Amino acid sequence: MYPVRHKFVAVFLIVPCACTFASLVRGDDARVTPLVKAVRSCMESVVNIHTEKAAPADKESRFFTQKPRRVTGMGTGIVVDERGYIVTNYHVIHDVDQITVTLQNGETLAGRKISFDRKHDMAIIHIDPTKPLTVMPLGTSSDVMLAEQVFAVGNAFGYEHTVTSGIVSAIGRDVEVDETQSYENLIQTDASINPGNSGGPLLNVNGQVIGINVAIRAGAQRIGFALPIDEARRTIARLLSTERLSGVSHGVFTTDVKTPTEQKLVIDDVMAGSAAAICGLKNGDVLTEVRGIRIRDTADWERGLLDIPVGTVVDVSILRKGVETTLPFTVGIGKSVPNAVAAPATPATPATPVKTVASVNKAKAASSPSEIRNRVASMLGLRLASLHTQDRKIIGRKYKGGMRVTAADSGGLAARHGIRRGDILLGLDGYETLDDRNLQFILLESRIKNLKSLSFQIFRQHHGALVGSIELPSTRQ
């Protein structure tokens, strides 16, 4: 009897093991939830960031040493281009001397700052990978739902590639961190966000990034905040601009279209004589692919042309009136943006304008100086005039120029935000305001229709350059 019973028991134990193995092979293990699949799909696109900088001098030290103390920091980054371009928060890499990036496979590489935006707390760093990186799957924040399941991946307290999950707790939160930093329209989540998560992704259950983790509520439990990815991508596009980083203009002005059902990039205007015009791109075209990279927004377009040598011909695919077409685009030929120069990657002060403006010949835009200035007065309550010789002496050589404020209408947007007669307007929305052509481009309806505010930069005698933001009531959501 015993041999028979032992044989039966052996068969009974083996069968479940065989079924479990088969289920794993088939991939239908109940443990492989949508969240597990999502995590697997995005982990290679998340990097861990470690930083170092010299500590302030210790004036109370009783001993002298030749070796300065070092302060370490940590954060997270998201791969936005396979060649090693990574987005993170500006506060992660601000004022650091050394950046070290660790990939999901454990490889450690040196990172360097490329460009940044203090106001929106975002920065681009670059590494030299040994092989192409995996770009983070892109979602949209236009359809984020209250209480939908989300998860975060990050370098929490230095524990690399930590995964936490939760739900969307609220949408459209405005958060003031301190007197110098505030955020608007954030996604609030109860997925655990800790020091070190900054710059990392907030993802949906499809493994698509819908936000960039940026802040936590001090003293609270499970109250974290993320920048909506649609807004973040607009900033990323500016930070990856070929004109900004390489001094090469493509001559295209575009609008991102982000809805729950589509993500596309539409051409608003093409600069006459530019590389885009020579290529044959036209207003209304939908850019779909460049150099084999699928285009979903301006950030994809800019990275597709970034670092490509002048004279290189790349394929650009478009959708024109429902018909797909591929055109040869020659990088760097044709007419460039007037007075364009490569903007500094790390501007000396937050008040220094970091972008130059195209002289746009747009049929629907005002063409005469009086019409342009009337639009500025109507929108912002700001009366402007060209600089006098004395004005140029006041601002000195530090700034290329600006426009003199002759009046700020009482009750107007400019006056309510502190601009006054005698100020010199150095820039709007980060663009230089050297003349009426600059204003014409900055205030194009296609540019500002989705903006909630316009940042301004002014020079006030005896105060130097000042920075602020003019909120646009007509564009509030």
- CA 366-119-45 angle, to 5 degrees, is 110
- Quick one: how far is CA 267 from the chain centroid? 20
Catalytic residue among 50, 81, 91, 161: 91
Neighbours of 158 (CB within 10 A): 14
Q: Of the candidates 121, 353, 146, 321, which has an alpha carbon nearest to the alpha carbon of residue 231? A: 121
Q: Strand locations in 18-107, DSSP E?
A: 46-54, 70-81, 85-88, 98-102
Q: Judging by DSSP bridges, how do beta strands 453-460 and 424-428 pair with one another?
A: antiparallel
Catalytic residue among 121, 256, 300, 391: 121
Please count the CA atoms within 13 angstroms of the CA of 319 that sit on its side-chain side.
Answer: 11
CA gyration radius for the chain?
Answer: 26
Distance separating alpha carbons of residues 92 and 350, to the nearest angstrom: 17
Q: Is 198 a catalytic residue?
A: yes
Ordered alpha helix ranges (H), 358-431: 369-380, 389-395, 413-416
Neighbours of 182 (CB within 10 A): 13
Q: Of the candidates 89, 107, 109, 91, which has an alpha carbon nearest to the alpha carbon of residue 99? A: 109
Q: Is 134 exposed, middle or buried (0-12, 13-18, 19+ CB in 10 A)?
A: middle
Distance separating alpha carbons of residues 201 and 208, to the nearest angstrom: 9
Sign of CA dihedral 337, 341, 347, 348: negative
Catalytic residue among 45, 115, 141, 198: 198
Neighbours of 251 (CB within 10 A): 24
3-state DSSP assignment of residue 437:
helix
Distances from the Cα of 458 to the Cαs of 285, 399, 419, 444, 462, in angstroms? 37, 11, 8, 21, 12
Distance separating alpha carbons of residues 81 and 87, to the nearest angstrom: 9
Classify residue 233 as left (phi > 0), alpha (psi -120 to 50) or beta: alpha
Residues with catalytic roles: 91, 121, 198
